[in-house]
Amino acid sequence: MTNRRSRRSTLFKIAALLTVILAIWVSHDLFAPRTAHLRNFDPDEVGKLETEMWRSYHERSQLELEWWIIHRERERHEPGDLARALAELQAEVYQLPVERLLEHDDPANQTLPPSCSNTLPMRNVGSDSPSGVCSFIGSSTT
């Protein structure tokens, strides 16, 4: 019986201590002196804080939106459609057969051809001529 009483008294003391701490915190929050002059208002600081808040919100929602778009598009298209579309685009730009570009998308064919092993880093990638493409497709037009 004494064990229960000591346990109850300990719990009562902890509850009383927490109540006193809460009462002190609330009274300090309600009655502590504060200054609320409009002269101290800084609109630039408030604008910066609000802008940061909205940017943070929109960055998160942008990522969620992109996630939903990606998953919806994955359901609508076959797995090889994107690779085929990219290969067709590159074939049109570099005037090469699509099949030649598709073979480099195959994971079993991830090594560079021997004729291109010494041409990295690429040159003239931004030009419309096929002169810097060797490291991608293994052509001998360098």
Let me know if residue 115 belongs to a domain.
Answer: yes
Let me know if residue 110 belongs to a domain.
Answer: yes
Can you tell me which residue has the tokens 């609320």?
A: 36
Let me know if residue 129 belongs to a domain.
Answer: yes
The model scores a pTM over 0.85: no
Task: Provide the pLDDT for residue 106.
Answer: 56
The number of distinct structural domains making up the chain is 1
Let me know if residue 43 belongs to a domain.
Answer: no
What average pLDDT does the segment 33-49 reach? 84
Q: What average pLDDT does the chain have?
A: 76
Amino acid identity at 131: S
Let me know if residue 33 belongs to a domain.
Answer: no
Q: What is the DSSP letter of 86?
A: H
Let me know if residue 71 belongs to a domain.
Answer: no
Distance separating alpha carbons of residues 32 and 83, to the nearest angstrom: 66
What average pLDDT does the segment 76-86 reach? 84
Let me know if residue 122 belongs to a domain.
Answer: yes
Let me know if residue 126 belongs to a domain.
Answer: yes
Which domain range does residue 127 map to?
A: 81-137
